[in-house]
Structure 1
């Protein structure tokens, strides 16, 4: 009986230490984001946070980040979350990266002509580009309802399709 009690006690200690020290998937993904952005995001339900993808690679290392969401009722983190948006803006203003995630059956309003590409994880996605070449987007579905659109706006035309795809492939 003493051995069993000792084993159970040891397992409880290990489990409690693990659960106290482990980060959630969202905390791991969001570790590179500013504290104010993480705080704003953490108001949302866990199932929404788990659907949000955050890149680990961006066109440059100096940027600011903003976050917003659309819900019903409006601005209610406890309501139905329709979409979330992360915006990364280069400090030198030569690029913006916009990540839209639709958490319901809503989709992007305008469908552009596009080509099908394959991401590193095997997902089929649509790549499209603005007429002037400064705006590039990749869209894809993941799971039952999450849809993603990542748009790279290059103010000087310097960033390419390959730059955008590298960012998308780094998202977790």
Structure 2
């Protein structure tokens, strides 16, 4: 019991010393900026009432939705990653291969099956499946990506 109390007191003392050292020397110093607020703030008059009556509220998107309904597809990708499946594996096991599924959307841009989607949707994908609006599922091949613009091109097989 004496060993436990001495161990506990040394731990508390060490923690207190570490906390004091951090607050005194290691913690970044906050610099207070004294910015004055101008007496005359800049104000722009806005008339929201006239903006509502400009015809924006009468827009009907049903025609546009009907025309593009069959061009939008669901993109499903499957990746494999290593990780621990349980808390016990974290300490006593090896990382296991796990299959992960990601989803997104895309747009068919040509009759021969080219599809544009986002790069982050298919990045690192092992397999890619595309489901059309009529619930037909196709395997897709990755043609190319541009991570800078987050665009990817797929082709239905």
Q: Under a length normalisation based on structure 2, what TM-score does the superposition of the two structures give?
A: 0.29
Highest CA radius of gyration, 1 or 2? 2
Q: Under a length normalisation based on structure 1, what TM-score does the superposition of the two structures give?
A: 0.27
